[in-house]
Amino acid sequence: MKIVNFRDARKLSSKTIRKKIRLELYNNHTSGLAANKLQANIVILPIEYANDFRNFCKLNDKACPLVGQTKLNSSYFETLGDDIDIRFDVPLYNIYKNGNLTSTVKNIEKYWSNSLTAFAIGCSFSFEESLINAGLEIDHIKNNKVVPMYRTNIKNKKSGPFKSQMVVSMRIFNKKDIKKVFKISGDFSFAHGQPIHIGDPIEIGINKIENPDWGDRPRQINNDEVYIFWACGVTPQNAIIEAKIPFCITHNPGHMLITDIEEKSLHN
């Protein structure tokens, strides 16, 4: 069977691209795919951490807007679409042990057990199509890259072992488009909503914008452009790493679960 490239993947429906991902025919990033469908960050934890993590999401809902959870003894996200099996339907997964990344894999069948539960957290990829439709250019989609993501000095509210600092994603826009960017992304509260910072990265603890913690290096900005930062669903990964949870699984940043949920159905 033929491997699907990014350009062709952009033409596929949410269900079709998930089938390609399940068959391991697409393992690239998901930004720009399945237009107008909700994409989600994934966190999979032993069930004994579920209550603390759910509360962590509630306390830090700007960065962690919870949109779904698997039921006990099930690997399926029944509320997010047709036949979504979290063991196979993400392009790349990260395996963590005691806070350390031990491997990145294309499916988690051998790691899954009924002692685990999976959480889906809204992703800013969900509003990118609306920005593009408004005539705005998004560099990482145009150039087939992963959006840059950074640890910040913005502290999360603590729940059980989970605390750490907020992670943000960054996009570059023209200064004249700031109001448009705020208005469009603000309609997507389930996908982090409006930006949390504009301008100088140092103000939120990012000392080297050219060296993201996750994703690809951003291009340099012009005098009429500005950095714009959104709360990011990689925030829980940062909290899990620092909490040194004995075992957990996440999506590889930039490689999201694509759902069948229409973005417009979740607007404010």
Each residue's pLDDT tens digit, 137-192: 999 999 999 999 999 999 999 999 999 999 999 999 999 999 999 999 998 888 89
Query: Are 235 and 63 spatial neighbours (Cβ–Cβ below 8 Å)?
Result: yes
pLDDT value at residue 264 = 64
pLDDT value at residue 118 = 97
Q: Supply the pTM of this predicted model.
A: 0.91
Residue 231: both structure tokens together:
């709360």
Q: Where in the chain is the domain with CATH 3.40.1640.10?
A: 6-124+243-263
What amino acid occupies position 125?
F
Residue 244: both structure tokens together:
């040194």
Residue 165: both structure tokens together:
């600092």
pLDDT value at residue 35 = 86
pLDDT at 36 over 90: no
The whole-chain average pLDDT of the chain stands at: 94
Q: If you average pLDDT over residues 25-44, what whole number do you get?
A: 93
pLDDT value at residue 121 = 95
- Collapsing DSSP states into helix, strand and coil, what is residue 157? coil
Residue 115: both structure tokens together:
């002692």
pLDDT at 89 over 80: yes
pLDDT value at residue 265 = 63
Q: What is the CATH code for 125-235?
A: 3.30.2040.10
Three state DSSP letters for 224-264: CEEEEEEECCCHHHHHHHHHCCCCEEEECCCCCEEEEEEHH
First to last CA, the chain: 41
pLDDT at 6 over 60: yes
pLDDT at 2 over 90: no
Q: Where in the chain is the domain with CATH 3.30.2040.10?
A: 125-235
Query: Are 259 and 40 spatial neighbours (Cβ–Cβ below 8 Å)?
Result: yes
Neighbouring residues of 34: CB distance < 8 A, sequence distance ≥ 6: 12, 13, 14, 17, 258
Burial 19-44 (b: 16+ CB within 10 A, else e): bbbbeeebbbbbbbbbeebbbbbbbb
Q: If you average pLDDT over residues 255-263, what whole number do you get?
A: 92
What CATH fold (topology level) applies to the domain 6-124+243-263? PSTPO5379-like (3.40.1640)
pLDDT at 52 over 70: yes
Task: Note the helical H segments in the chain.
Answer: 6-9, 14-22, 50-59, 128-133, 139-142, 178-185, 235-243
pLDDT value at residue 126 = 85
Regarding predicted confidence, which is higher, 126 or 170? 170
pLDDT at 266 over 80: no
